[in-house]
Amino acid sequence: MTPTRAPRRRLAGALLAGVALVVLGLAALAVVLIALGALVPGLGPLSGYATITVPGYGPTLVVVGLVVVLLALVVRLRLRRAGTVVAVLGGVGTVALGVVVGLVVSAAGQAGGSVDLVRAVDPHGGGSVPDGYPQYGTGPDGAPLHAAVYRPGGARGPVPVFVYVHGGGWVGGSELDNSADMRWFADQGRLVVSVGYTLATRDRPTWDLAGAQVACALAQVAALAPGQGGDPSRLVLSGDSAGGQLAVSVAYHAASGTQASACGGRVPVPRGVLVQYPAVDPAGAWEEGRVPGDPGNAARGFQEAYTGGTPEQVPDRYTAVAGVPAITPAAPPTLVLAPTDDELVPPDGVAAFVDAARATGVDATLVRIPYANHAYDIGGVSSLGNQVRRSVSQAWLGARGW
């Protein structure tokens, strides 16, 4: 080797190590910031982003952090001081994020669920095509209302019936949402039906319509379930966010005999209610709710579109769709999954609803999901959050034969 080539190679090696160290440093910093945002609430957008990221990609980032530490130790052989700093930074962030992920897994275990962390490292997406897509009614403008049906695979005898009401702030979403989860619940031995309803607009509030449509769908599902292999005596009504509000309202009012149906007739009382981050305190959400990552008051638009005004303008409507006023001792057993860092549906309102239900004698269970924000479960079918949602739900349903 000539004397001139050796310095050039050393220089090239140093430059390459420097570039690698910059990349590793940025990755280490990202892991640290996400861990910090999750562990320290109230850091604004950082905390909001972290509590969205942890349930979706927390285990993935722990693996990234471990790789960063290992590669930084290699680079440290050439750039000792800088490599040490990056390795320590990555190590601290990885340990902290690992603790956060561990606490989420622990919370799931305490609620009867479980998490496969190996699968959670690759939180892939996915979807499923329903086995049937019948029309069950029409909206006020004549638009068809559909239900997506997922039949159980290989089940023998009448199976439990799981009716799901989608979220979307009452203004968006579809009965075709969360199709992978609907298929999963069906594969556990249930007849699953996801129902649609008329979406609200600024010119057409649906506070007195959407619930009646869900009640109509519920009655039709109960009537048709035996022909599809379902057992209507083991019917559970479920929903997320706005759909959680509708599920609670319809089930609880059906139990007290006060729920109207858009297609008339008696509304069956579900055996159980299973909801996630339900908007059971719309007035509280109007006052305190925020769209994750948005410091403004965009969340108020959901409640105002649904009710047709603010809590001051139409207080009776907010009361009519709230959870606490619907509670009676006849309400069915209820499981509520609530992320502790929910920005859109404030956790205090959800907890107050569960406390009020318990005080009235309802078998109500609140499972808090730590370091998680609204819609914590939609990061991928095998994500940390979605595994928590599925496994805890399955444990609660399975223990009751539903």
User: What is the set of active-site residues?
Assistant: 241
Q: At what angle do helices 45-75 and 384-399 cross, to 10 degrees?
A: 120
CB-CB neighbours of 386 under 10 Å: 24
Q: Exposed, middle or buried by CB within 10 Å (0-12, 13-18, 19+), for 249?
A: buried
Element (H, E) at 335: strand 334-339
Residue of 374, 381, 393, 335 whose CA lies nearest to 183: 381
Q: Tally the residues of the chain.
A: 402
Question: Contact, 48 vs 113, CB < 8 A?
Answer: no
Apex 308 CA angle, 304 and 311, nearest 5: 60
Question: Contact, 327 vs 356, CB < 8 A?
Answer: yes
The first and second tokens of residue 202, run together, are 């600024």
Q: What's the Cα-to-Cα distance from 244 to each of 74, 211, 277, rounded to whole Å?
A: 51, 11, 7
